[in-house]
Structure 1
Amino acid sequence: MNQYVLVAAGLLALVAGAEALVQGGATIATRLGVSPLLVGLTVVSIGTSLPELAVGIDAALNDAGTMAIGNIAGTNIVNILLILGMSAAMVPLVLHRRTLRVDLPCMVVSAIALLILCAGGTLSRFDGAVLLILAVTYTGLVIRADLTSKSSPPEAEEAPPGPWPTALLQLGGGIAVVVLGADWLVDGAVQVATDLNVSEAVIGLTVLAIGTSAPELVTTLVSTARGNRDLAIGNLIGSSVYNITLILGATAMVAPIPVDDDLLRIDIPLMTAVALLCIPVFISGRRISRLEGAAFVAAYAVYLTLLLVFRT
């Protein structure tokens, strides 16, 4: 029963950590006079992407780098189709103009860049350096867009923002607990999958992808429930960009990553197609409706079913 205890403890830690992370992030945004979207796109996104980084580096060091790319491809599909879809299905998502002008193009460009860089069958250290440059560029763009934004500052909350030490403790502690919870969840889930004789490919694309996406899932749902929608969508888009540029870039710098045929033919192109799908959905009315959100979730259910049927 140890693996099942790990899964349960991981989920509880994720809930508690995500709650603290969202509260701390929203407070810091209010005190700095910057938008929650910027906090979600940078600090929270990087923090909730740390499980993918840990998995990627560990896989690279143990000659299992292919699992790292499979994890990222699966995670980004989960982020957009399942998590963003669930959030929009709960409450329609209104999109900022900056999201359409900066964040959406960066997400699409990073996906296409990965598809091109992996075409040779290996993600080299040079390719990793290119991805890290894209990560730095993206961070600079979102900060510049926020600082030069002519939009009004974030609306004040009903209660005044808490003190700095509390906010920083909530943010840092929340990230730490989320990462720890994700580690427990992934460890337990992998053990469960192994006990059930599920293949390593499916573990990487499902258990690891969903497990390492759990921080984004819980953070987004908590943000949605608390009304911090900017933090929710910023976290998802930012995580999708950083997963490719920062996480895979850093992983490839540790050790070149071989890319197998299934990833080249199926998973990476599918991840890119999901990013491209966001263009018409995001642009149409500058919102994601409940119906579109439900369609995203249904698309993920179809993808997961086909994955389990044809690749086990």
Structure 2
Amino acid sequence: MLYPTLAIITGLVLLVWSADRFVIGAAATARNFGMSPMLIGLTIVSFGTSAPEILVSYMASINDAGELAVGNALGSNIANIALVLGITAIIAPLPVKSGVLRKELPLLLAVTVFAGMLLLDLQLTLVDSVVLLSMLALSLYLFQRFQRNASPEENASEEEELPELKTGNAVFWLILGLVILAGSSRLLVWGATEVALALGVSELIIGLTIVAIGTSLPELAASVASALKGHHDLAIGNVVGSNIFNLVAVMAVPGLIAPLSIDSIVLLRDYSVMLGLTVALIAFGLIQKPPKINRYEGVLLTALYAGYLVLLYNMTV
């Protein structure tokens, strides 16, 4: 297990370093191009950190494992809310701006519900995938419109804390950080998978846990790094944007390649958990005055994710 262990250590080190570079590049690019941190978190950061999910979805689909691609999208969304935001909130409580509660989070809920409606017939067809991609275009338009029409209070951010980099340097660190972020997450997943197999853990459990968590590692690394630097908009926007991308882009991939039949348990268990967590996320923002996700709620989200993993294990042994 020497090489897998080295892969885990190397992947973790590169993940932490690249996340720091990526956040610095993203924040500086946002300021240089006049974009709000929330908008760049919803678009560039979230799309970039969804790259592992897109890669897994494509590879699974061309290898006749489209259901794995759907499960990866749903499982990653569960991990993004319960694990990524949970751990991030424990490390640094996240204030939630009123505009996010009124616009971006309701959009995430609407996309989640609509995606569930498409899956009710337990089929993912070419038409379904085209509809999902159309929702991606609509979501990108709405992101831009939300931020353009935002009030000064909604667009207020930790402007003085944003790094000062020339545009060329900012874009360089943004791209380099993204590439290493995606590569290091894959290296870490490979190492963890090999170690788990050597210890006798079943491939099914690995797929339901390590792969789902592994493809969410870029979101976790980017969100924690953003929160520690005080860029809370980047952290929250990253998760909201990534979850929307996962549903309308990642989940659309298998249907574009071949029609797919989905097991009913995916809808009853995984989709229901994802929908419940999305509703809970909005509720957490509404409970606190001013709106925020505090450490207590972060612990609760993390505990819910642990409970979900236990549920998966009990249903597969």
Question: In 2, are the aligned partners of 1:182 and 1:211 still within 8 Å (CA)?
Answer: yes
TM-score (norm 2): 0.93
1:213 aligns with 2:216: yes
* Partner in structure 2 of residue 202 of structure 1: 205
Choose from 174, 180, 186 the match for 1:183. 186
- In the alignment, structure 2 segments of 5+ residues that lack a partner are none
Paired with 2:163 and 2:42, the residues of 1 have a C-alpha distance of 23
Question: In 1, are the aligned partners of 2:157 and 2:233 still within 8 Å (CA)?
Answer: no
Mapping 1:104-119, distance limit 5 Å: 104-119=105-120
Deviations 1:78-128 (A, max 9, x none): 111111112222232211222112211122122222222122222111111
Q: Report percent identity of matched pairs.
A: 36
Q: Select between 266-275 and 196-205 the one with higher mean Cα deviation.
A: 196-205
1:276 aligns with 2:270: no
* Partner in structure 2 of residue 244 of structure 1: 247
Mapping 1:131-142, distance limit 5 Å: 131-142=132-143
Mapping 1:74-153, distance limit 5 Å: 74-151=75-152
Q: Which amino acid aligns with 1:87?
A: T
64 and 159 in structure 1: CA distance in 2 versus 1, 3 angstrom threshold? closer
Task: Tell me by how many angstroms 1:153 deviates.
Answer: 5.2
Mapping 1:220-299, distance limit 5 Å: 220-285=223-288, 286-299=291-304
Q: Select between 131-140 and 248-257 the one with higher mean Cα deviation.
A: 248-257
Task: Tell me by how many angstroms 1:159 deviates.
Answer: 7.7
Q: Which amino acid aligns with 2:222?
A: T
Question: In 2, are the aligned partners of 1:37 and 1:234 still within 8 Å (CA)?
Answer: yes
Task: Tell me by how many angstroms 1:155 deviates.
Answer: 4.4
Q: Which amino acid aligns with 1:127?
A: D
* Partner in structure 2 of residue 8 of structure 1: 9
Q: Select between 57-66 and 148-157 the one with higher mean Cα deviation.
A: 148-157
Task: Tell me by how many angstroms 1:291 deviates.
Answer: 1.4
Choose from 303, 310, 316 the match for 1:311. 316
Paired with 2:295 and 2:83, the residues of 1 have a C-alpha distance of 13
Task: Tell me by how many angstroms 1:248 deviates.
Answer: 1.1
Runs of 4 or more consecutive aligned structure 1 residues displaced over 6 Å after TM superposition: none
Task: Tell me by how many angstroms 1:65 deviates.
Answer: 1.0
TM-score (norm 1): 0.94
Q: Which amino acid aligns with 2:244?
A: V
Deviations 1:30-52 (A, max 9, x none): 21222111111100000000000
Task: Tell me by how many angstroms 1:252 deviates.
Answer: 2.2
Paired with 2:258 and 2:21, the residues of 1 have a C-alpha distance of 35
- In the alignment, structure 1 segments of 5+ residues that lack a partner are none
Q: CA RMSD in A?
A: 1.8
Question: In 2, are the aligned partners of 1:220 and 1:233 still within 8 Å (CA)?
Answer: yes
211 and 34 in structure 1: CA distance in 2 versus 1, 3 angstrom threshold? same
Question: In 2, are the aligned partners of 1:70 and 1:204 still within 8 Å (CA)?
Answer: no
* Length, aligned pairs only: 312
Question: In 1, are the aligned partners of 2:80 and 2:239 still within 8 Å (CA)?
Answer: yes
Q: Which amino acid aligns with 1:280?
A: A
Task: Tell me by how many angstroms 1:292 deviates.
Answer: 1.4
Question: In 2, are the aligned partners of 1:115 and 1:269 still within 8 Å (CA)?
Answer: no
157 and 195 in structure 1: CA distance in 2 versus 1, 3 angstrom threshold? same
Q: Which amino acid aligns with 1:167?
A: A
Deviations 1:144-186 (A, max 9, x none): 1111222155443358611111000000111111111122122
SS in 2 for 1:106: helix
Question: In 2, are the aligned partners of 1:67 and 1:201 still within 8 Å (CA)?
Answer: no
